[in-house]
Amino acid sequence: MEFLVVLTAAALRVATPILLAALGEMLVERAGILNLGIEGIMLFSAFTGFVAAQFSGSLWVGVLAAIATGVLLSALMGLLSVTFGLNQHVSGLGITLLGSGLALYFFRLAYGGASTPPALQRSFQQWDVLPGTLLGTLLGQYWLTYLALLLVPLLAWVLTRTSFGLRLHAVGENPEAVDVAGVNVYRVRYLALLAGGALMGLGGAFLSLAQLGAFTHGIVNGRGWVAIAIVIFGNWRPVRVLLGALLFGFVQALQLRLQAEGVPVPYELLLALPYLVTILVLALTGRNANYPAALLKPYRREGA
């Protein structure tokens, strides 16, 4: 029992940044944009959040900086993929390369070649509730974890019950028809990109301001790609995205636990699991199910 509770608590921690980023990516993909910039957005957000927190002395300033970074890089993605109607894969990849490049460039500029990564004096702490009890272990999470969990029903409600959600869905499925109905396709896509970017930024902030309390080059380490996999696994639905993130969290937490206890596990294989499962899901469903029909298709009003 205790083992299970500890494992669940760890799984929630591991799942948080992935969940935040995946929810953001889900929003963007719902609008018909595949944002491959996610990995670089998370890294640069983790960095700006860290730097802002360190120089201002306030973690909240750090969170705001991380969100702003996510929004700004996503705006650039919007300029390229929505306004200019450029190839989404290559633009997104360019954003990732840019975000990583900028993070590493400014990191080196600010901290030189320090051998020990600079750490925050104080980072976000886990909720200290009912110390010493199992329930306390389970509930003792960072506030960002609770936020991420709250976002799941909130986004589910927004997507299915609000006019914005319906427009988002329609823009991702059939932008021409929505345009005829008087909805500004560009605006909806931008809104989705910016909101999604904010969530990716929060995912980055979680890593540097809460979980690690520091910044390192490999802090994101493919979590953005995992998020992309989980959005597909989650069939573009918030609750199933949560499920996917938790599943990933559990496998990861289990692997870390076993490793710590000296059980030899080929942890690389476990880490590869989400990718393989996603490819399997894709292979089985093909291009049907809930794949936003207009995904990857730039929308041009003049139809050129």
**Binding residues for another protein (CB under 8 A):** 34, 36, 76, 80, 84, 86-87, 89-91, 93-95, 97-98, 100-102, 104-105, 108-109, 222, 225, 228-229, 232, 266, 268-269, 271-272, 275-276, 278-279, 282-283, 286-287, 295-296, 304
- The minimum distance between CB 69 and another protein, in angstroms, equals 15
Between the alpha carbon of residue 291 and those of residues 166, 205, 220, 283, 285, the distances in Å are 16, 29, 26, 13, 10
Closest CB 49 distance from another protein, rounded Å: 19
Residue 127 Rama label (left phi>0; alpha psi -120 to 50; beta): beta
> What whole-number distance in Å separates Cα of residue 43 and Cα of residue 23?
17
Could you give the CA distance from residue 98 to residue 92 in angstroms, rounded to a whole number?
Answer: 10
Q: Supply the minimum distance, in Å, between the C-beta of residue 84 and another protein.
A: 6
CB nearer another protein, residue 102 or residue 212: 102
Distance in Å, CB of 102 to another protein, minimum: 6
Nearer to another protein, 90 or 135 (CB): 90
Amino acid occupying residue 183: V
- Closer residue to another protein (CB): 121 or 288: 288
CB 29 within 8 A of CB 241: no
In the complex, minimum distance from the CB of residue 238 to another protein, in angstroms, rounded to a whole number: 20
- Which one, 107 or 190, has the nearer CB to another protein? 107
Output 6 or 104, the one with its CB closest to another protein: 104
Q: Which of 249, 205, 206 is nearest to 230 (CA)?
A: 249
Q: Up-side HSE of residue 304: CA atoms within 13 Å toward CB? A: 3
Number of other CB atoms surrounding residue 237 within 10 Å: 19
